[in-house]
Amino acid sequence: MKSKNKTVPRNPLGRPPRSDQTDEISDDLSANEQVLKQIFRNSSDLIYRSFTIPEQARVLLVYVDGLVNADMLNQVALQPLLFEGLPGSAENAGSLGTLLKDRLGAVAQVKPVQKINDIVASILKGELAVLIDGEPQVLLLSLGGFEKRAIEEPSAELSVRGPRDGFTEALRTNTSLIRRRIRSEKLKMESLTLGQYSKTDIVIAYLEGIVSESVLKEVRQRLERIQIDGVLESGYIEEFIEDVPWSPFPQIQNTERPDVVCSSLLEGKIAIFIDNTPFVLIAPMSFWSGLQAVEDYYERSIYTSFIRLIRFALLNISLLFPSLFVSLTTFHQQLVPTNLLISVAAAREGVPLPTVIETLLMEFMFEGLREAGIRLPKPIGSAVSIVGALVIGQAAVQAGIVSASVVIIVATTGIASFAIPRYNLGTAFRLLRFPMLILAGVLGLYGVIAGMFLIVIHLLGLRSFGVPYMTPISPHTPENMKDVWIRAPRWSMHRRPLLSTAGNKRRVPEGQQPSPDRGRNES
């Protein structure tokens, strides 16, 4: 016998839909109140304020305590309704929304709705619901007033020269910081909501006419197919939309600085704002953008080019220095100068561990001290990490567990890794340092070379939303090489990145190189 039970349609997360929230409200205020109280049962932060406008209508205000500004509530809703009332007779009560828009449109936005699910979603976003007896609609007033952090300088992206403001956890505050810098109608901001329970607001920002339409379409598709119960931070989104999730290298840039987002938008990239987090995602990302610091574009090009070359050298040191030391001292002693080899051998006298095990142990301890310094309270975190490194390193050398040369190598490597501007890219090289050490301890220089080949092949195959990760090196675009190894003067960088833009590729017109003769001729 076939079962007569009907299959209940389910949403993407496997939960049956709630039909009680898709119906329209009635004109009975008491019935509407009961429906809302049933939906928000066991929610002590939901406030229901009922009163009667003299000789006109009974009104119910519903809002979440803490998400609505109390002063604006009194000025916008209570005072006009209680003391001023509505002009005319009771039949004019249907014009309450129009009256609020006419009188207080500059203070609050008013939106009439009829669906229960729209009312519930708006209340949970911090809007005030105004229900009037005898009306089959609800007026929603935007009176958001929840506590939020003030605009401060980002602690993770400090700069010597440049703006001092940073993003906060408020979505509209963050988008306004972008509007202050790019005052163009070409700046578009598309909104969507993710998370079945969190209902997190997401904004996709881009410059129309500059952004690549194919990249923009790919970003939209990847975001729209996300099915998750809640989005609490931008990392939730990043893991769903990156191209190669198992790669140690980040394929999406994140930042707390509005100026970094604006410069990326001007290069044709796309910014993804997530509510309740100060970190904004930027796509597509290249390997070289992870090595560019904020000061590179605020200081003179000669100085920043020199610093950038030093940064690349420190990047190689952070990845290869320990593995080269292990391979040379273990397998290829003939490549080490005699005096240096004698000094290293004397320092290792009495050390019971092989060089590779010794280096791995010190690297592990260094990473542990760095992690402890981050997790501990700020006043004592830095002191513990510095004092711990000094005490443990000195004690380990005196006890003969490790050699002084290994301590120097590990300390130099750790300092070099701090020179990488982007934390997530620096984390990738910290992670790769350990397999490189193992290859060096097993195969010597051949292992180091093999490891480098694997890393380069992996980087050449990576893509970020269809854009090659190593662009403009591979594929080679000479026009964009002015902002890779060095940073050319701004007046010489005429074109935007070719592979991530479409339409308007011209950034700076030619013929703007400053010179005294040119100024005299123009005058």
Q: What is the pLDDT of residues 1-40, one digit of tens each?
A: 444 444 334 344 433 344 445 578 887 888 888 999 999 9
How do the domains of the chain map onto residue ranges? 19-142, 171-296, 298-461
Torsion angles phi and psi, residue 304, rounded to 5: -65, -35
Q: Which of 442, 416, 430, 414 is nearest to 326 (CA)?
A: 442
Percent of residues in the chain assigned helix, strand, coil, to nearest 5: 50, 15, 40
pTM tops 0.75, yes or no: yes
Contacts of 456 (CB under 8 A, 6+ apart): none
pLDDT at 266: 92
Confidence of residue 234 (pLDDT cuts 50, 70, 90): very high
Torsion angles phi and psi, residue 360, rounded to 5: -60, -40
Q: How many CA atoms lie within 13 A of 349 on its CB side?
A: 6
Query: Looking at the predicted structure, is the pLDDT value of residue 512 above 50?
Result: yes
Query: Looking at the predicted structure, is the pLDDT value of residue 79 above 90?
Result: no
pLDDT at 12: 40
Task: Kindly tell me the sign of the dihedral angle through the C-alpha atoms of 389, 394, 395, 399.
Answer: positive
Q: What is the pLDDT of residues 340-350, one digit of tens each?
A: 888 888 888 87
Q: Which residue has the tokens 């004092």?
A: 387
pLDDT at 18: 43
Query: Cis omega before residue 514 (within 30°)?
Result: no
Query: Looking at the predicted structure, is the pLDDT value of residue 469 above 80?
Result: yes
Task: Kindly tell me the sign of the dihedral angle through the C-alpha atoms of 368, 369, 373, 379.
Answer: positive
Q: What is the pLDDT of residues 263-297, one digit of tens each?
A: 999 999 999 999 999 999 999 999 999 999 888 89
Query: Looking at the predicted structure, is the pLDDT value of residue 363 above 80?
Result: yes
Query: What is the DSSP track for 353-391?
Result: S-HHHHHHHHHHHHHHHHHHHHHS-HHHHHHHHHHHHHH
Q: What is the pLDDT of residues 405-450, one digit of tens each?
A: 888 898 899 889 888 999 889 899 999 999 999 999 999 999 999 9
pLDDT at 288: 92
Q: Which of 131, 100, 139 is nearest to 27 (CA)?
A: 131
Most confident region among 1-15, 85-99, 137-151, 323-337 by mean pLDDT: 323-337
Query: Looking at the predicted structure, is the pLDDT value of residue 127 above 60?
Result: yes
CA distances from 403 to 260, 322, 349 (A): 43, 13, 8
Tell me what the mean pLDDT of segment 130-141 comes to.
Answer: 81
pLDDT at 14: 37
Q: What is the pLDDT of residues 377-397, one digit of tens each?
A: 766 666 666 667 667 777 778
Question: By mean pLDDT, which of 13-27, 112-126, 220-234, 431-445 is the weakest?
Answer: 13-27
pLDDT at 89: 45
Tell me what the mean pLDDT of segment 208-222 comes to.
Answer: 92
